[in-house]
Structure 1
Amino acid sequence: MYRSSVIRVLETGYLDETRSAALECKRILEAHGYKLAKQLDVEPIMSNLKDAIYTLTRETGLVVILGGTGLLSQDISPEALLSIIDKRATGLEVAMIHSALKHDPGLALYRCTAGTILNSVVLCIPGFVESVSWLLEPILDSLKVLIDQLNQEDG
């Protein structure tokens, strides 16, 4: 079983949506063999978000950030992640976006970001309940191989 965690970004006007998205995310993660070890709700403040991401990467192999991916001023999740990742995973980003756009072209207005921090994978995705499966389903099984490789490097 792979340990995972979820960060729900508390964006004004999207609290109910991201609450439902977090539940859907947990369901999908568990269906793919990931145990949800922790869920945090974080205000869209750069230092708070960066601290939460970094802390959870010490505890779990996969961190999923829900929300804060649009183009408004409070949408800072990709910037927070990009400022602390070791390696960016553009292939994961493309796979998630490609899958989601087949279902909803409007998701082109949102940003997916992925990367590694030491031996953890971090994904930043829009916090819409209907898009969580479109974004995560295509990559979750492949991520296990990467997480295993990252842990072998560490050990």
Structure 2
Amino acid sequence: MSDAPTQLPAPGGKLIDGPLIPVRIAVLTVSDTRDEESDTSGAILAGRITDAGHACAARAIVPDDVEAIRAQVKAWTAGGEVDAVITTGGTGLTGRDVTPEALEPLFDKRIEGFSVIFHHVSYQTIGLSTLQSRATAGLIDGVFVFCLPGSNGAVRDGWDKVIRWQLDSRHKPCNMVELMPRLKEV
């Protein structure tokens, strides 16, 4: 099985001709056990981000700890150097899975539809096991934050079938790039 991104038409819309507006995206892996070498889900995300023409502006690994997760995401959202953050890991049901608890209280606005759509595409891949994910998304300080499960399959589904298209300025009838403060006038 290849880790190459699937080239599919834009779901629920179309891609218009024109240049892509690159988005600066940070990747955060939430795990007590991963390091730079074993962080396969973070590597998949970073590769797909750059393959899509965006910038992987930052990458970090933090333990399953509410304060560590918040500190890293707040540093990125307050710093003005990223337009979006994608986290991987910590969205399950075990005691150490605390990514939603860490980040949802920081959301200025919650993106309710993200979880619905993520579960829809995840169901097509893993069936009812998608119930064990608490994938979520929202805005913090004007920065889009997407929280994905830590499995490689969930990262592929989340990026390839959902996030990729909403961070592509050519996706119509609308996309999230149009809402990013730094990119509104581009």
After TM superposition, the score normalised by the length of structure 1 is: 0.88
Could you list the per-position Cα deviations for residues 44-82 of structure 1 after superposition, in whole angstroms to 9, with x for gaps in the alignment?
111111111111123211101110111111100011110
Partner letter of residue 41 of structure 1? Answer: I
CA distance in 2, matches of 1:45, 1:109: 19
Tell me the equivalent position of 2:110.
88
Task: Indicate whether 1:5 and 2:26 are aligned.
Answer: yes
Tell me the equivalent position of 1:40.
60
CA distance in 1, matches of 2:135, 2:109: 15
In terms of fraction of residues, the more helix-rich structure is 1
Contact 1:5 1:63 in 2 (8 A): yes
Give 3-state SS (helix, strand or coil) of 1:137's partner: helix
Give 3-state SS (helix, strand or coil) of 1:7's partner: strand
CA distance in 2, matches of 1:110, 1:141: 21
After TM superposition, the score normalised by the length of structure 2 is: 0.74
Partner letter of residue 119 of structure 1? Answer: G
Give 3-state SS (helix, strand or coil) of 2:161's partner: coil
Partner letter of residue 156 of structure 2? Answer: S
Equivalent pairs, count: 153
CA distance in 2, matches of 1:18, 1:151: 35
Contact 1:9 1:68 in 2 (8 A): yes
Q: For structure 2, list consecutive stretches of 5 or more residues without a partner in the other structure.
A: 1-21, 169-174
Percent identical among aligned pairs is 25
CA distance in 1, matches of 2:65, 2:24: 26
CA RMSD of aligned residues (A): 2.2
| 1:126 aligns with one of 146, 149, 152 | 149
Q: 1:23, CA displacement in angstroms? A: 0.9
CA distance in 2, matches of 1:130, 1:30: 18
